Amino acid sequence: MVLCGDMHRVYEIGPVFRAEDSNTNRHLCEFTGLDIEMVFYEHYFEILDLLAEMFVSIFNGLEERYAKELKTVNEQYPFEPFKCKNVRLSFRDGVKLLADNGYTQDPLQDLSTENEKVLGRLVREKFDTDFYMLYGYPTNARPFYTMLDPHDENYTNSYDFFMRGEEITSGAQRIHEPEFLAQRATVHKIPVATIQEYIDAFKYGCPPHGGCGIGLERVVKLYCGIRNIRKCSLFPRDPKRLRP
């Protein structure tokens, strides 16, 4: 909605609450969200360019500015230094890399958690990086508001970013045309009346745009090679812990 008001790049940092029964070492019910949304002009890869440069700058900056703090963490939780390059693969290239190494992955289905980890290892071996981007996910693996690939509607203009074989953010080009948005909601069996205000916002006119939401604690967990995300939050909230 803010982009409709001619602010071409926006972000927010704040608490995010997720009512999900996810009892894993990488999920929290409350975490710090870094949300970014931006207009692009030619291709949604403009978003990937900006985000990749941002992450590489952050990771390199941590080594330069916080070497003492990282050394302290490493003394208690030893970890390998984080390797970071600007590597971008299509989803279909990722599936092929898995297949070439003997792993099965349906090209029209989302990656399993196990295949994500395997792919992270294969990318590390091939490109010498712990950080990479995967774009062009299958349509049935993405929400209704994700823009379809104009060349193949089995895929979408979407992307995930990974650190050490684990996803740190999902994003996509959003559908900005109200009629198409309503159509895709219907396909996903979402009653249009329940999201009418959201759809109406685009009737004022909105440029092509996209963005992502980043979980800060998960980024810290993976950068520092810490096994459990609860070690990266001062007061971790999960399905079994509310206080303190």
Note whether 233 and 28 are within 8 A (CB).
yes
- Catalytic residue flag (residue 237): no
Closest CA to 156 of 206, 91, 96: 91
Catalytic residue among 37, 116, 164, 167: 167
Q: Identify whether 53 is a catalytic site residue.
A: no
Catalytic residue among 26, 174, 184, 230, which?
A: 26
Q: Which of 18, 88, 124, 237 is catalytic?
A: 18
CB-CB neighbours of 209 under 10 Å: 20
Decide if 170 is catalytic.
Answer: yes
Establish whether 184 is a catalytic residue: no
218 labelled catalytic: yes
Burial of 227 (C-beta count, 10 Å sphere; 0-12/13-18/19+):
exposed
What are the CA-CA distances from residue 43 to residues 47, 49, 186, 208, 215 (Å)?
8, 11, 27, 9, 25
**Distance spanning both ends of the chain, measured CA to CA:** 36
- From the candidates 46, 90, 166, 170, give the one annotated as an active-site residue: 170
Q: What token pair was written down for 153?
A: 């509607």
* CA dihedral over 5, 161, 163, 236, signed as positive or negative: positive
Q: Which of 12, 20, 53, 63 is catalytic?
A: 20
* CA dihedral sign, ordered 44, 46, 49, 53: negative
Confirm whether 167 is a catalytic residue: yes
Give the active site residues.
Answer: 18, 20, 26-27, 167, 170, 218
